[in-house]
Chain A
Amino acid sequence: MTQNEINWPAALRAPDSGEQAAAVKALRELLQHGLRIALHGRGDVSEAHLEDFAQESLLRVLDRLDQFQGRSKFTTWAQAIALNVAFTELRRKRWQDVSLDALMADGERMTEPAMLADDVLGAEEDRTRLVATLRHAIENDLTPKQRAAILGELREMPFDQIVELLGTSRSAGYKMLHDARRALKQRLQEAGITGADIQNAFNL
């Protein structure tokens, strides 16, 4: 039987059977194989890491079996979960030494011309005006935590790490960032800079 012919959810739910044990083993191997392909060439990932990620992913997939709705192949759905497990852990390790104080202090510096120079996007008048408007909005319309969160995102700090440092939940963190983006966008629009202008200027 090929992987595509297996009814994975049924096999993984089969109670105390050889079928279930075989399905669990096959899924763990499949996830590890996928992770090996996806993470190939990374210096921070060993074979032991791949085994740990595959085991952790397997548990996560089994825990979320009821959430699989059949809109994709089961194996694609499971691989997406495995990648989320692996990348989340790799990002956490990379950023584990950053402190709340460093994040907040960095966020505050976003209002300084030296950090957000008028000509950072080029010397054209519309671009310098856009950056000046943006800096003014960052200074006046965002809270210190919003500034820190946005800068953390720009630095590619993991979202989990940002919300942990700021002492908030994921959902509150999403709302905080979404509100910040909407406030900045509104301020640009009030200055006559529309979403279409932005999209045209940056070939979105």
Chain B
Amino acid sequence: MKREDQRLTSEQVAGIVKMLGLTTDREFNCGECLQHVSEFAEGRLVNQPVGEVIAKVEQHLALCPECREEYEALMKILKAGR
């Protein structure tokens, strides 16, 4: 990591603060998210109401940039296939 890259940006600090705002005692991990993200994505495509499990997917996606990146790519595929 280069020295000039080390200072945290306002976006990164806001990212920490947002992350803390979303933190709950029981959360999905990436594996649990992957198990359910396909039903979440299909539900999103048709604006289906969010159930308890799906809400946990949504919360994990808000916290995890990696799973969010994969979810957005999945939506791209689903939308292309409509």
Binding site for B on A (CB under 8 A): 34, 37-39, 67, 71-73, 76-77, 79-81, 83-84, 87, 91, 98, 102, 106, 109-110, 114-117, 120-122, 130-131, 134, 150, 153-156, 158-159, 170-171, 174, 178, 181-182, 184-185, 188, 195, 198-199, 201-202, 204
Q: Which residues of B contact A201 (CB under 8 A)?
A: 17
Tell me the interface secondary structure of chain B in the complex. helix
Q: Which residues of A contact B25 (CB under 8 A)?
A: 182
Measuring CB to CB, which residues of chain B are less than 8 angstroms from any residue of chain A?
1, 6-10, 12-23, 25, 27, 29-31, 34-39, 41-42, 64-66, 69-70, 73-74, 76-78, 80
In the assembled complex, 18 residue pairs joining A and B whose CB atoms fall closer than 8 Å, in A order, are A71-B36, A72-B41, A76-B41, A76-B42, A76-B74, A79-B77, A80-B41, A83-B70, A84-B34, A120-B13, A154-B12, A155-B1, A159-B30, A178-B23, A195-B20, A199-B21, A201-B17, A204-B22
B7 adjacent to A198 (CB under 8 Å): no
Other than the given A38-B73, A76-B41, A87-B70, 8 more pairs (CB < 8 A) read A72-B42, A73-B38, A84-B70, A120-B13, A131-B13, A185-B23, A202-B17, A204-B18
A101–B36 CA distance with the chains assembled, in angstroms? 36
B5 to chain A: closest CB distance in Å? 8
Chain B contacts for A170, CB-based, 8 A: 29-31
Q: How far is the CA of A130 from the CA of B39 in the complex (A)?
A: 38
Question: Are A37 and B77 neighbours in the complex by a CB distance under 8 Å?
Answer: yes
The residue in chain A whose Cβ has the minimal distance to the Cβ of B43 is A72
A72-B39, A199-B21 as given contacts; A39 in contact with B8, CB under 8 Å: no
With contacts A38-B76, A38-B77, A87-B73 taken as known, whether A198 is within 8 angstroms of B10 at the C-beta atoms is no
Which chain A residues lie closer than 8 Å to B80 at the CB level? 37
